[in-house]
Homo-oligomer: A and B are copies of this chain.
Amino acid sequence: MLKNIMDSVREKSPIVHNITNYVTANDCANILLACGASPIMADDLEEVEEITTICHGLNINLGTLNCRTVESMLLAGKKANQLGHPVVLDPVGVGASVFRTKTAFCLLEEIQFDVIRGNISEIKTLANGKGTTKGVDADIEDVITEDNLMQTVTFAKEFSKKCGAIIAITGAIDIVADSEKAYCIYNGHQMMSSVTGTGCQLSAITAAYVTANPKNKLEAVVAAICSMGICGEIAYNRLSSMDGNASYRNYIIDAIYHLDGEILQNRANYRIL
C-alpha cells in the first residue's frame, strides 16, 4: 500500500502551494521535486487565492511568520477548503509567542486542515491552548518514549476527533492518528535533528502525498513520514567521516529523489495502535 501511495505522487505530480518560511523554502522546494511533486511558493495577499486554485494541495508553515502573511494563510486556506484541496498545517514554534499561538488558533478556527504535523510540544499547545514550547524544538519533558506512547496515542486520537485533522506528531517515535487509528513509526535517525528544516520538508512532502492520495489520507501521511525516516537512514549510511549536517541535508533530499516504492514498503517500520 505504501508503495502505491508513493507511486501516485510520481504519477500525478501534484502541484503544492507553500506558504512557508524563508529559512527552509529552498529545501522544501527541492524535496517536493525529489518526491515527484511540483512546488509553488507564493505568499502575497493579492494572489494566494488564485495560486492555490491552480495548485492541487496547500502547505501552511508558521516559521518566520509575519503580519503580512497571516491574512494570506487564511485566504489560501479557505479557498483550498472550498475547492476540496488538502491542506497541511506545520505550526512551527507555536507556543513560543502569543503571536504564533493566536495565529495558529485563528487558522484552526477558520480552516479545516487535513493534516497537522508538528513536534509534541507544538501539538500539545494546539490541543491544550498552552504548551511548553521552547523555541522550535520539542521540549525535553514532552519527548515521546515507549513509556508514554499509549498515553500520547490516546491524546492524538482525541485531538484528531476534536479538530477533524489527521495528527502527525514527529520525534524519535512518530505518531500518525485519526480519531480511530494510530500508526507508531520507528524510522528515522537522530542526526536528522541537526539539519534545519527536516520537519518543514516533511510537512511539504506530506502535502504532496496526501494530495495525490485523497482516498487514503491517513496512510498517505504514514507513507510520507516513513519515506522521510527511511531516507534519513539511507542518507546516514552514506555519510563519510568528513560529512556533517550540511552534506546530510543534501543526502536526505537525494535519497527521496531515488526512493523506490519497494524499498519504502520493505523498510517501513511501524505498528498500529
Interface, chain A (partner B; CB < 8 A): 15, 21-27, 29-30, 33-34, 38-47, 50-51, 54-55, 63-68, 93, 96-100, 134-137, 194-197, 238, 242-247, 249-258
A43 with B64: CB separation less than 8 A: yes
Residues of B within 8 A of A257 (CB): 194, 244-246
B134 with A15: CB separation less than 8 A: yes
Residues of B within 8 A of A21 (CB): 41
- Which of A137, A242, A258 has most B Cβ within 10 Å? A242
B195 with A30: CB separation less than 8 A: yes
CA separation between A110 and B26, bound complex, in Å?
A: 31
B26 with A41: CB separation less than 8 A: no
Within the complex, which residue of B97, B238, B246, B249 is in contact with A42, where a contact is CB–CB below 8 Å?
B97
- Which of A64, A99, A246 has most B Cβ within 10 Å? A246
Selected A-B contacts with CB under 8 Å, 8 pairs: A22-B41, A33-B195, A42-B65, A43-B66, A44-B67, A47-B100, A50-B99, A245-B254
Residues of B within 8 A of A195 (CB): 30, 33
Residues of B within 8 A of A47 (CB): 65, 96-100
CA separation between A115 and B196, bound complex, in Å?
A: 25
